Every structure is written in C-alpha cells, then in structure tokens.
C-alpha cells in the first residue's frame, strides 16, 4: 500500500494535507484498494459546516460502499467536482485526487491523527 509522507492519516484511512488554515482531505490507497473499482463519489455542499468524525462523502464501488469521515472539524470551501465525472480518479491516484478542501476549525485536532510513519505501522498491524 502506498503511503505518502507529510500527510496526516486517520484510523478510517482518510488523509489530510494541511495548507495554512486550510486542508485537503481524501482517502488513502488502502481504502481505494479495499473498495475496488470506484463508480461514484457523493460530495458534500460547499459551506457545509462539519464536526470531526462527521461523514462528509460516500464512495461507492459495484459491490461496496463506504462513508468517508472528516478527521478534523471544518467548513467545506471546495469540492473536487472532477470526481463526479470520473470517480475512477480515486483508484488511479487517491493522493493526487483530494475529495474536499476545508477551512480547519481547530488545528489542535490534527494532533490526534497519525503521521505517515505511524500510519505505515498501523497498516502493518491491520494486515
């Protein structure tokens, strides 16, 4: 499983890339691999205010569906509309294709997440 350095990771296999007061959020390689061919991504609305652990998107394959949970609270400022037309982008490169961009409410919440090294260890234990 590919793990990109410099990102934060959650137990539910979401990643967070911090950019000033903002962050991009997506799903990790493990998650896309687990789901198989992704056929649809349900996106939230811009301006949705979300709590930590709120489900903000759903990713569907033919035989499975998964809710995507927000690792840190924030307000949606942008959604990746390219995923609506081509959900397979998440299979092709889940790290380059973020799902939403948020304005982070409380940066301290990032401390609860894993670093890429910790996430790699976590994956090893999951296997």
Partner 1 sequence: MKDYDKLIFEISKSGRKAYKLPPLDVEEQNLETIIPGEFLNDEELNLPEVSEVDVIRHYTNLSNKNYGLDTGFYPLGSCTMKYNPKINEEVCRYSGFTNVHPLQSEDCAQGSLKLMYELQESLCEISGMDKMTLQPAAGAHGEVTGVLLIKAYHEKRGDTKRDKIIVPDSAHGTNPATTAMAGYSIIEVKSNKDGLVDLDALRAAVGDDTAGLMLTNPNTLGLFDKGIKEITCIVHEAGGLCYYDGANMNAIMGYARPGDMGFDCIHYNLHKTFSTPHGGGGPGAGPVGCKEFLAEFLPVPVIEKSEDRYFLDYDYPNSMGKVKDFYGHFGILVRAYAYILSMGSDGLKKASAMAVLNANYIKEKLKDYYYLPVNTLVKHEVVFDGLIEKNGITTLDVAKRLLDHGYHPPTIYFPLIVNEAMMIEPTETESKETIDGFIDAMIAIAKEAESDPEILKTAPHDTIVRRPDETQAARNPVLKYEG
Partner 2 sequence: MFPYIPHTSSDEQEMLQTIGLETTDQLFDDIPDDMRLKKALDLPTAKSELEVRNYLKSLADKNCSLDELTCFLGAGAYDHYIPSVVDAVISRSEFYTSYTPYQPEISQGTVQYIFEFQTLICSLTGMDVANASLYDGGTAVMEAALMACSTSRKDEIIVSKGVSPEAIKVLKTYAHAQHLNVVEVETKDGVTDAEELEKLVSDNTAAVIVQNPNFFGVLEDLESLGQIAHKGKKTSFIASVSPMALGILKKPSELGVDIVVGEGQPLGISLSYGGPYLGFMATKEKYMRKLPGRIVGETVDVDGKRSYVLTLSAREQHIRREKATSNICSNQGLNVLAATVYMVTLGKEGFREVATQCAQKAHYAFNELTKSGKYQPLFDKPFFMEFALKSDKNADEINKALRNEKIVGGYNLSKDYPQYENAILYAVTEKRTKAEIEKLASALEGIK
Residue ranges in contact with partner 1 by CB under 8 A:
37, 39-40, 60-63, 87-88
Q: Is 92 in the site for partner 2 (CB under 8 A)?
A: no
SS3 81: coil
Helix (H) or strand (E) holding 78: strand 74-79
Of 37-45, 69-77, 85-93, 116-124, the window that binds partner 2 (rule: CB under 8 A) is 37-45
Query: Is 46 or 65 the residue whose CB approaches partner 1 more closely?
Result: 65
Q: Is 53 in the site for partner 2 (CB under 8 A)?
A: no
Partner from partner 2, partner 1, none contacting 87, C-beta within 5 to 8 A by type: partner 1
Query: Is 37 or 117 the residue whose CB approaches partner 1 more closely?
Result: 37
What Å distances lie between residue 63 and 13, 39, 45, 60, CA to CA?
A: 19, 10, 26, 8
Rounded least distance, CB 56 to partner 2, Å: 13
73: left (phi over 0), alpha (psi -120 to 50) or beta: beta
Near partner 2 by CB under 8 A: residue from 2, 11, 36, 62: 62
Nearest CA to 83 out of 110, 104, 56, 105 is that of 56
């Amino acid at each position: 499983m590919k793990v990109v350095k410099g990102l934060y990771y959650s137990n539910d296999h979401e990643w967070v890339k911090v950019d000033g007061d903002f962050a991009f959020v997506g799903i990790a390689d493990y998650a896309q691999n687990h789901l198989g061919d992704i056929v649809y991504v349900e996106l939230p609305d811009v301006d949705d205010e979300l709590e930590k652990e709120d489900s903000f998107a759903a990713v569907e394959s033919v035989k499975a569906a998964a809710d995507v949970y927000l690792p840190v609270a924030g307000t949606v400022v942008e959604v990746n509309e390219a995923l609506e037309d081509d959900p397979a982008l998440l299979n092709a490169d889940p790290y380059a294709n973020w799902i939403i961009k948020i304005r982070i409410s409380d940066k301290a919440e990032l401390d609860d997440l894993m670093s890429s090294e910790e996430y790699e260890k976590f994956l090893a234990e999951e296997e």
